[in-house]
Amino acid sequence: MLAEYWPVLLFIGVATGLGLVLLAVGLLAGPRRPEAEKLAPYECGFEAFEDARMRFDVRYYLLAILFIIFDLEIAFLFPWAVVFQQIGMIAMIEMGLFLLLLVVGFAYVWKKGALEWE
């Protein structure tokens, strides 16, 4: 049974070895010219003017989570669209209920003002 895993183990070993060799070559042959400007923190062309642990508004996280939720729900439509010709009426009703629930959730989020940004 171990013979069946031999190609996988060989691949993992070769990939790990090659990765380590490339890292070592980069460390040994790469230029090292540390300067104050290279070592300074850089963000969007501006000097760092606040603490890195500054607080973000909760609405930012809420909007990000809502995007992920609705994006993933829409991703369920692609497999359904691929087999649209082969599915029966029950699957059609189920997808209609799914889309109705998605629209109700979107309307609720919109009504609560979660999509508003001041």
Rounded-to-integer distance, Cα 106 and Cα 99, Å: 10
Question: What is the token pair recorded at 98?
Answer: 């799914």
Q: Say yes or no to pLDDT of 69 above 90.
A: no
Confidence tier at 66 by pLDDT (50, 70, 90)? confident
Please give the Cα distance from 25 to 21 (Å, whole number).
6
3-state secondary structure of 41: coil
Query: What pLDDT score was predicted for residue 42?
Result: 65
Please state, in angstroms and as integers, the Cα–Cα distance from residue 49 to each residue in 45, 53, 54, 55, following that order. Answer: 12, 12, 11, 14
Mean of all residue pLDDT scores within the chain: 84
27 forms beta bridges with none
**pLDDT single digits (tens) 20-42:** 999 999 999 988 888 877 777 66
Exposure string (b/e) for 70-98, b if CB count within 10 Å is 16 or more?
A: eeeeeeeeeeeeeeeeeeeeeeeeebeee
Instruction: Please name the residues in contact with 62: beta carbons below 8 A apart, sequence gap of 6 or more.
Output: 114
At 43-64, the pLDDT tens digits run 666 566 666 677 767 777 888 8
